[in-house]
Amino acid sequence: MIKAVTGTKDILPADISKWRYLEELVRTEFSKFGYKEIRTPIFEETTLFARGIGEETDIVSKEMYTFIDRSDTSVTLKPEMTACVVRAFLEHSLGKQQVLNKLFYISPMFRQERPQAGRFRQFHQFGAEAIGSTDPALDAEMIIMSYDILRNLGLKELTIKINSLGVPKSREKYKKILREYFSDKLDQLSDESKKRFETNILRVLDSKDERDIKVVENAPMLIDHLDEESLEHFEKVKQILLASGISFEIEPKLVRGLDYYTHTTFEVVSGSVGAQSALLGGGRYDNLIEELGGKATPGVGFAAGMERILLACENENCLNLSPESIDAYFVSLDKEVSQKVYELALLFRRKGLTIELDYAGRSVKAQMREANKMNAKYVVFIGGEEFEKDLIRLKNMENGNEETLPITGIEQIMNLIKGN
Ligand code: HAM
């Protein structure tokens, strides 16, 4: 039997209401903050990600689904959206239409990572990007907006972690200091970190390997080597968060896995989902747009993992949605009426009601069982003696009350079912 590819998952009808609920909540929250939806293709030219995310990142160096298409172009299934949004922003000159572009997305992403709980090869993100302002208030707004979404889902075990990576100039200086610190301790580092020492030294800081953690413990931290401008920006972000009643932790080792960040980086982690605890992450990227060929334009954004969020909801027992129901189940009391049942069902469906009926010639008892399983608010009995008198019987499944109405009294039947 052919199965879904490792690391991918079907979302079955039984789970779909949670996804829809999450998507709707996300859309409502984003629109409150003035964000407009953007949809970009599922694949892009590979160079976009190589240049945007950084050649030395894990994503680009080992996780991308890249292939050569039939026109000999190297294309990649999108592993994240920020580079795609920036590409679209530049291609359509969105910056000329508006000083500040506030964009949001909900989309599948693809990364060939080792699958485990909360980590997939096709997963879904919602996220937002605000392009066109350096205002630290936007960094804070991004953190608050993303946190609000999680809180509004009912999640409680949340911690906001923030850090500043400063501007590239101070980061380059700091990298030298870090290189010096690690240079006589290389033999104590993991193989991965030995490699990163050469290619992407900041990533040594957020390694989860015990050996690295020990060495990193006493390493100099970037936050203590920030220039004045970066410190001031970070101070303002913190002030706004505090004034808005948002608690956070400063995590000097939060460098994140994508190369485009400047100034603020942040994550919201959950205490209820195990090892893959980052529900969302983001930060400021003031140089990315220029790196991708545009005029220097600042940006800030975040993305959240929807599978992880739904897992946290399950573990924290929030998101208790009422079971799906239908307006009415039409029961045929005898076979002769089936044509009439189809007609009536169609009529009511076209008027906006959700109607189910039997397609297998089952007994009345079996049809009733089905109606109960579907949480029908009403059962409409069609057939028998009543049908000969042009009447149908309706049963309110909540209180058991029954009413007999003329089959032609469509409005009356509608109102009864709708509860008017
Ligand atoms: P990221 O940290 O790579 O950032 O991903 C954001 C979130 O996506 C993670 O916190 C996690 O919840 C989820 N995620 C990532 N990889 C997987 C996976 N393999 N399986 C399940 N969930 C996953 C970004 O993607 C940036 N584009 C965020 C951003 C937007 N920064 C600025 N603007």
CATH number of the domain that residue 111 is part of: 3.30.930.10
Stated pTM of the model? 0.94
**Do residues 274 and 371 both lie within one domain?**
no
Q: Is 79 in the pocket of ligand 1 (CB under 6 A)?
A: no
Burial pattern 292-326, b for ≥16 Cβ within 10 A else e, equals: bebeebbbbbbbbbbbbbbbbbeebeebeeeeeee
**Do residues 407 and 353 both lie within one domain?**
yes
Q: Which domain holds residue 26?
A: 13-167+227-316
Residue 277 CA to ligand 1 centre (angstroms): 11
Residue 267 CA to ligand 1 centre (angstroms): 10
Tokens of 203: 């990533």
- Dihedral of CA 224/186/204/177: which sign? positive
Q: Is 126 in the pocket of ligand 1 (CB under 6 A)?
A: no
* Neighbour order of strands in the sheet with 43-45: 43-45, 74-77, 66-68
**355/346 Cα distance (integer angstroms):** 8
The mean pLDDT value of the chain amounts to 96
End-to-end CA distance of the chain: 51
**Atom 16, ligand 1: residue with shortest CA distance:** 119
Which of 103, 109, 203 most suits a substitution to test ligand 1, by most atoms within 8 Å of the C-beta? 109
Residue 161 CA to ligand 1 centre (angstroms): 15
Q: Is 299 in the pocket of ligand 1 (CB under 6 A)?
A: no
Tell me which residue of 402, 386, 384, 406 sits closest to 394, measured CA to CA. Answer: 402
Residue 305 CA to ligand 1 centre (angstroms): 6
211, part of any domain:
no
Q: Is 240 in the pocket of ligand 1 (CB under 6 A)?
A: no
**Atom 11, ligand 1: residue with shortest CA distance:** 305
Q: Pinpoint the alpha helices (H) of 361-409.
A: 364-373, 384-388
Half-sphere exposure of 326 (CA within 13 A, CB side): 18
pLDDT tens digits, residue range 323-374? 899 999 999 999 899 999 999 999 999 999 999 999 999 999 999 999 999 9
**Do residues 41 and 123 both lie within one domain?**
yes
Give the confidence band of 420 by pLDDT, cuts at 50, 70, 90: confident
pLDDT in the model for residue 114: 95
Which residues touch 4 (CB under 8 Å, ≥6 apart)?
A: 10
**138/227 Cα distance (integer angstroms):** 21
Tell me which residue of 156, 153, 206, 159 sits closest to 178, measured CA to CA. Answer: 206
Tell me which residue of 204, 198, 199 sits closest to 216, measured CA to CA. Answer: 204
As a whole number of angstroms, the longest Cα–Cα distance in the chain is: 96
**Do residues 158 and 91 both lie within one domain?**
yes
In the chain, how many domains are there?
A: 2
pLDDT mean over 129-146: 98
pLDDT tens digits, residue range 60-107? 999 999 999 999 999 999 999 999 999 999 999 999 999 999 999 999
**Do residues 303 and 337 both lie within one domain?**
no
Q: Which amino acid is at 363?
A: S
Find out whether 102 and 35 touch, Cβ atoms under 8 Å: yes
**Do residues 394 and 301 both lie within one domain?**
no
pLDDT in the model for residue 216: 94
Atom of ligand 1 nearest to the CA of 120: 20
Tokens of 131: 């392009």
